[in-house]
């Protein structure tokens, strides 16, 4: 982990990696990508490209955010096919290298969350809706019972599935 990375709470980590609470726990492990967290909100039928802090991307001092905003506007029909009013699609913008450099085989936006206010869509709804816009989602490494970190890293392999050329902090998984 790098200095800006965070972990989940210890109890959540146990559920995801060691022992589920009950038969209703279903663990989904995805590859963690190393880009800039961005999102697109739909409010009153209008799309707003956002940076992690919630500001409109084209007001950011950083060029990568301006480029994200331009890309969103160029792909607005795809976002409109996914988003209902009051929702936002959140993802990683992989245009600029942070700790990991990518040789992408797909566009630089990878969608990982669909939200309305603070409510997250269930994973299967997210993936169904993302397909409506023909967006890329992080690779699923495992679904089902808890999975150890060692097993997840082995499934991920050295560089993952999204074209990582070099990993400054090591490949990562998100669960």
Residue 171 has pLDDT above 60, yes or no: no
**Domain presence at residue 8:** no
- In tens, the pLDDT along 104-163 reads 889 999 999 999 999 999 999 999 999 999 999 999 999 999 999 999 999 987 788 888
**Domain presence at residue 114:** yes
**Domain presence at residue 3:** no
Number of domains in the chain: 1
Q: Write down the pLDDT at residue 170.
A: 45
Q: What is the SS3 assignment for 16?
A: helix
Percent of the chain with pLDDT over 70: 91
**Domain presence at residue 40:** yes
Q: Are 23 and 145 in contact (CB under 8 A)?
A: no
Q: Write down the pLDDT at residue 103.
A: 82
- In tens, the pLDDT along 36-55 reads 999 999 999 999 999 999 99
Q: What is the pTM of this model?
A: 0.85
**Domain presence at residue 4:** no
Tokens of 48: 């707003």
Q: Write down the pLDDT at residue 2.
A: 64
Q: Write down the pLDDT at residue 173.
A: 47
The per-residue DSSP string of 43-105 comes to ETTEEEEEETTS-BGGGSSSHHHHHHHHHHHHTHHHHHHHPPTTEEEEEEE-SS-SSEEE--S
**Domain presence at residue 108:** yes
**Domain presence at residue 6:** no
Comparing CA positions, the residue from 116, 96, 112 lying closest to residue 104 is 96
Q: Are 175 and 148 in contact (CB under 8 A)?
A: no
Q: Which residue has the higher pLDDT, 152 or 169?
A: 152
Q: What share of the chain is helix, strand, coil (3-state, %, to 5)?
A: 25, 30, 40
Q: Write down the pLDDT at residue 166.
A: 59
Owning domain of residue 114: 25-174
CATH of the domain at 157: 3.30.470.30
């Amino acid at each position: 982990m790098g200095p800006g990375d965070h972990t989940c709470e210890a109890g959540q980590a146990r559920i995801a990696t060691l022992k589920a609470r009950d038969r209703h726990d279903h663990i989904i492990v995805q590859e963690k990508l190393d880009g800039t967290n961005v999102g697109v909100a739909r409010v009153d039928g209008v799309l707003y490209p956002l940076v992690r802090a919630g500001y409109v991307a084209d007001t950011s001092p950083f060029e990568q955010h301006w480029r994200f905003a331009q890309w969103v506007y160029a792909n607005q029909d795809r976002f409109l096919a996914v988003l209902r009013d009051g929702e936002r699609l959140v993802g990683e913008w992989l245009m600029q290298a942070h700790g990991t450099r990518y040789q992408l085989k797909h566009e630089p936006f990878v969608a990982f969350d669909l939200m309305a206010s603070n409510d997250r869509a269930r994973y299967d709804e997210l993936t169904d809706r993302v397909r409506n816009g023909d967006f890329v989602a992080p690779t699923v490494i495992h679904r089902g019972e808890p999975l150890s970190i060692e097993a997840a890293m082995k499934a991920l392999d050295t560089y993952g599935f999204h074209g990582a050329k070099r990993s400054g902090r090591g490949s990562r998984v998100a669960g």
